[in-house]
Amino acid sequence: MKAIAFDHHGGVEVLKYLEVPAPRMGEDEALIEVEACGINHLDLWTRQGLPGVQVPMPHILGCEVVGKVAKVGAKVTHVKKGDRVLAAPGISCGSCPACQGGRDSLCREFKIMGLQRDGGYAEMVSAPGKNLIPVSSKLKPEEWAAVPLVFVTAWHMLVTRAGLKAGESVLIHAGGSGVGSAAIQVARLSGATVFATVGSDEKLKKAKALGAHWVINYNRRDFPEEVQRLTEGRGVDVVFEHIGPATWRGSMKCLARGGRLVTCGATTGPLVELDLRFFFTRELSVMGCYMGGRRELDQVLGLAAEGRLKPVVDTVFPLKEAARAQAVMQSRNFFGKLVLKV
């Protein structure tokens, strides 16, 4: 089969369009003919190399996989050949206390498609049968592929971890990113007042159209000053953070007393500074978030099928142009999701 693979860490140049062996399939797995695969910052980090994470080499990226079932193992009974399915990105044991409590990413066996095992930058991929979720024709394959990771992460951060409630306020960074565009929608669905940051006036208009009440172009205005001005010095109840050191200090300044900051990423680096005096005297909370659980994924997929959450697809690239797609992601010159079509 054809696939995009790399055999050592590095820049986009390590991604090669190759002929590779078709994936093997266990009796509790299925073989999927990939139709579309979402692109995420996780793909970039994996390609560059994550400290302490070993990936099989040569490696195939891609955690948001949608396609048709080509073959099922003997123990897979809920899907059949020809069904269109979405493969849940997170793979966990399903039986430990963390999984039973809906905190799948805390499972000791937790893995992610495209990270610890080969993913969907390929014509075919194998996936555990329990991870396969049948999807309807209400959305195109490339639209379904733009849903799982970003929406389950946004839901886990805002609803599960931060406990965002109607009437509260939230600042969402990089509202034009995949996870940012998902977070705007989840926050609006929760009944919150939504502030968002973007990097251009064009993205400003799109973020407003998506549902943000106030949008700040951080290249034109100081976002902490704008948030304080718009909230009359109060600040926001929740900050949705996934950028890292470039925005961290400003994010903390935006929090109201008793506010919560939730973070899932380190796009601009892994290390930040925290003034403990400011932190404890204002009784702030900082929460780490790593994807989300299967129950949350089922919720967001249901809302997407109902049209209450909408995938935002900026550009669809052919599989062989995965390196160019990742370069676009690095440039930040897009709004929503980038997707590969196979």
Token pair 């897009």 in the structure block, residue: 334
Per-domain boundaries in the chain: 2-146+311-341, 151-288
Token pair 């014509």 in the structure block, residue: 123
Report the residue count for the chain: 342
The distance between the two most distant Cα atoms of the chain, rounded to a whole number of Å, is 62
For residues 279 and 46, what is the distance between their CA atoms, to the nearest angstrom?
A: 32
3-state SS assignment for residue 133: strand
Q: Amino acid letter at 313?
A: V
Q: Do 313 and 143 meet the contact criterion of CB atoms below 8 Å apart?
A: yes
> What pLDDT score does 54 carry?
87
Q: With respect to CATH, is domain 151-288 assigned 3.90.180.10? A: yes
Q: Are strands 64-72 and 84-87 parallel, antiparallel or unpaired?
A: antiparallel
∠ CA 182-188-192, nearest 5°, is: 125
> What pLDDT score does 100 carry?
93
- The torsion of the CA quartet 256, 336, 163, 276, rounded to 10 degrees, works out to -40
For residues 113 and 239, what is the distance between their CA atoms, to the nearest angstrom?
A: 28
Give DSSP secondary structure letters for 179-198.
Answer: HHHHHHHHHHHTT-EEEEEE
Q: Do 61 and 119 meet the contact criterion of CB atoms below 8 Å apart?
A: yes
Q: How far is CA 66 from the centre of its chain?
A: 15
- The reply to whether 151-288 shares the fold of 2-146+311-341 is yes
> What pLDDT score does 38 carry?
98
Name residues of the chain where pLDDT drops below 70.
none
Structure tokens at 342: 């196979």
CATH architecture of 2-146+311-341: Alpha-Beta Complex (3.90)
What is the number of helices (H) and of strands (E) in the chain? 11, 17
Q: How far is CA 245 from the centre of its chain?
A: 19
